[in-house]
Structure 1
């Protein structure tokens, strides 16, 4: 159902505490994915004697490993928020990424949001108001249950006085 006419109410925005918890949890998930990939690579190297892969991993250095972490971080948010509108942390905290109409943000906005996360100090930008990755991508992080209820109430209110078809 389209939310035409509905504009997101700032009361629904996730609190700074919830946003911080999302950041911490998502960081833990990204680190877990990184460790899982390293473990998987180690198993492949051990089982199939892929010494070239081991040598390549040894040669990455700090910059190379930082790029690997950035890629995991980027694709983690691109996949989870692009497909579901929520990262794993947002599932846990009951929040969701939406546009100003309370609808799932489109994929282009999610891509912008993912790139904006690499702006230095972006992770602290939401402490004062909406984060840069929100404001620059025109997205909002809101409480999902409150949003659903708010949109339902909005549509019910708009039905008052309309002719019912029996």
Structure 2
């Protein structure tokens, strides 16, 4: 269990902003899946490899599997290599960080991404609290501008009385 800093909790993104993040990322995932579907049809038409036919016509369980796989890859790559941000978080100027105020570890990003597979996890933040994938991985989605401003103010207050070197 990581330490939960008050500055992180005070600068959490609102439920409305989290919903915008989710909606934008969902639209991006729909576009990605649509592109993958067209590509798989095109490849099947030219190669007759059954896998590419099955991608579009595999049934409900196959669609669930493929959708979760594409979603997992999307969230993991974006949050791991983009400092806790996805396309939705870039638009709303938010990011996911660890509750102790540092960048998420790769392990946290992996667990956070795996937790998204849980049914209704995407809507778990609407009650005003943290989402399940936040609570289970000791992470929070914060407003970057407010967080940086408050962090800088605290650092300036803490530096009062220390001798500056010219």
Using structure 1 for the length normalisation, give the TM-score: 0.88
Give runs of ≥4 in structure 1 deviating > 6 Å.
Answer: none
Aligned to 1:51: 48
- Distance in 2 of aligned mates of 1:137 and 1:41: 35
Give CA-to-partner distance per residue, 1:36-78, whole Å, 9 cap, x none. Answer: 11122233334xx111144433552221121101001111110
Counterpart CA distance in 2 for 1:86 and 1:54 is 31
Stretch moving more, 13-22 or 98-107 = 98-107
| Change in 2 beyond 3 A, CA 1:132/1:58 | closer
Q: Which residue of 2 aligns with 1:3?
A: none
- The CA RMSD measured in Å over matched residues stands at 1.7
Instruction: For structure 1, list consecutive stretches of 5 or more residues without a partner in the other structure.
Output: 1-5
Report deviation, 1:101: 3.1
Structure 2 alignment gaps of length 5 or more: none
**Contact map agreement 1:98 1:142 (CA 8 A) in 2:** yes
Structure 1 pair 57–127 and aligned structure 2 pair: CA distance change class (3 A): closer
Match of 2:37, SS state, is helix
CA 57–146 in structure 1, closer or farther in 2 if over 3 Å, else same: same
TM-score by length of 2: 0.88
**How far apart, CA to CA, are the structure 2 residues paired with 1:93 and 1:67?**
29
Corresponding residue of 2:140: 140
Contact 1:14 1:142 (C-alpha < 8 Å) held by counterparts? yes
2:163 maps to: 163
Q: How many residues align?
A: 159
Q: Contact 2:40–2:55 at 8 Å: present in 1 too?
A: no
